[in-house]
Amino acid sequence: MTNPHEFLYLDYFFGAMFLYSCLHSATSIGIDGLLVTVELDISNGLPMFEIVGLPDSAVREAKERVRIGLKNSGFQFPLQRITVNLAPADVKKEGTIFDLAIALSLLGASEQLEIKNLRKTLVLGELTLDGRLRPLSGVLSMVMEGVRQGFTTVILPAENAEEAKLVETMNVIPAAHLKDAVRFVQSEDTPHLCEVASSTEEIESSVDFSDVQGYYPVKRAMEVAAAGGHNILLVGPPGSGKTMLSKRMASILPEMNRAEALEVTKIYSVAGLTKNRGRLITKRPFRSPHHSVSPVGLVGGGSIPKPGEISFAHRGVLFLDEMPEFSKTALEVIRQPLEDGEVTISRARATYTYPASILLVGSINPCP
């Protein structure tokens, strides 16, 4: 039968009743967002709750979070056969970001909630057992992808509202609890949108290149390297000022434009490293990993791929102090990112790409 709202319909086939609802959510692949359609079907049969679409263990555990969260929020959990499909089904889904979309879809399919105004709305959020919403990582990239795909509104945890509002064309609906999200869906009025003042976050730096007195030939060489985007190697005995000068290198680079600032903020957001959610990072980053850093820590990777130090230094400076102390493998793995300006991590089911456009500064001691 024709569905007037496109999100809920009832069908009857040989006396059996089927209820279906559909909402839109998102996830992160690398530092980019990917839209995910959350489809939910309720049918007669033995009580069962199944999630399909290549979910990882955290996504599968959403069954218990949603069931208990609904009950503790005053809603009924249907004792029927429940199937959730996360599309596209050929992309592995990770994390807890789909909890809220599954919960609202379940309320819609079980006719406890009339879903009719979410056609261009993204739903993001992790549920606690008492129905509260926990903050997420990577919200900025998901909201930016939503805007690119034509979405106009996002419902998400209140603690992520400022970060989402960095995308100026998106209407942000902050929700601290499942009931807040339900209240918005039920509302016939224009929602009260989150008003967030423009704010920026500066990566901590209390040093400036102008603080350095003397060292004129070295400073001139560093200024040329900064102006031309050239990597530079400093050679000198211990205590000669190599580290002091290197730490001030980022302060003479030109300021980032908004597109570059958003790109850097996306990287830190995906990694959960934004100290103040919603603050745009405007200062160029400076990263100085210890010489014992692993190749994965330097370029990124892991069982659940995350960006490494070279990506955290994107649009800024990566400083390798005492370069001979780094392992040969660690130095070899940064060669390709230095040439390409990005890191590509291949896995069986997906390929992740992280930006890595950096200015490399190295320091070594001369041979005795």
User: Which tens digits make up the pLDDT trace of 333-366?
Assistant: 999 999 999 999 988 777 889 999 999 999 999 9
- Does 2 fall in a domain? no
Residue 126 phi/psi, 5° resolution? -105, 130
Do both 157 and 80 map to the same domain? Answer: yes
Q: Which residues of 335-344 are buried (b: 16+ CB within 10 A; e: fewer)?
A: eebeeeebbe
The answer to whether the CB of 100 falls within 8 A of the CB of 123 is yes
Cα separation, 87 vs 84, in Å, equals: 10
Number of domains in the chain: 2
User: Which tens digits make up the pLDDT trace of 254-301?
Assistant: 999 999 999 999 999 999 887 666 689 999 999 999 999 999 999 998
User: Which tens digits make up the pLDDT trace of 158-216?
Assistant: 999 999 999 989 999 999 999 999 999 988 554 455 554 445 555 555 688 888 888 89
Q: Which of 162, 186, 210 is the last residue of a domain?
A: 186
User: CATH no. for residue 75?
Assistant: 3.30.230.10
Do both 211 and 352 map to the same domain? Answer: yes
Do both 220 and 162 map to the same domain? Answer: no
- Does 120 fall in a domain? yes
Do both 97 and 225 map to the same domain? Answer: no
Query: What is this structure's pTM?
Result: 0.86
Assign residue 81 a region: left if phi > 0, alpha if psi is -120 to 50, beta otherwise?
beta
Q: 156: domain range?
A: 8-186
- Does 341 fall in a domain? yes
Cα separation, 58 vs 272, in Å, equals: 17
The answer to whether the CB of 270 falls within 8 A of the CB of 262 is no
Do both 226 and 345 map to the same domain? Answer: yes
Do both 233 and 347 map to the same domain? Answer: yes
Do both 163 and 213 map to the same domain? Answer: no
User: CATH no. for residue 305?
Assistant: 3.40.50.300
Amino acid at 268: Y
Which pLDDT band, with edges at 50, 70 and 90, does 1 fall under? Answer: very low
Note the pLDDT of residue 276: 62
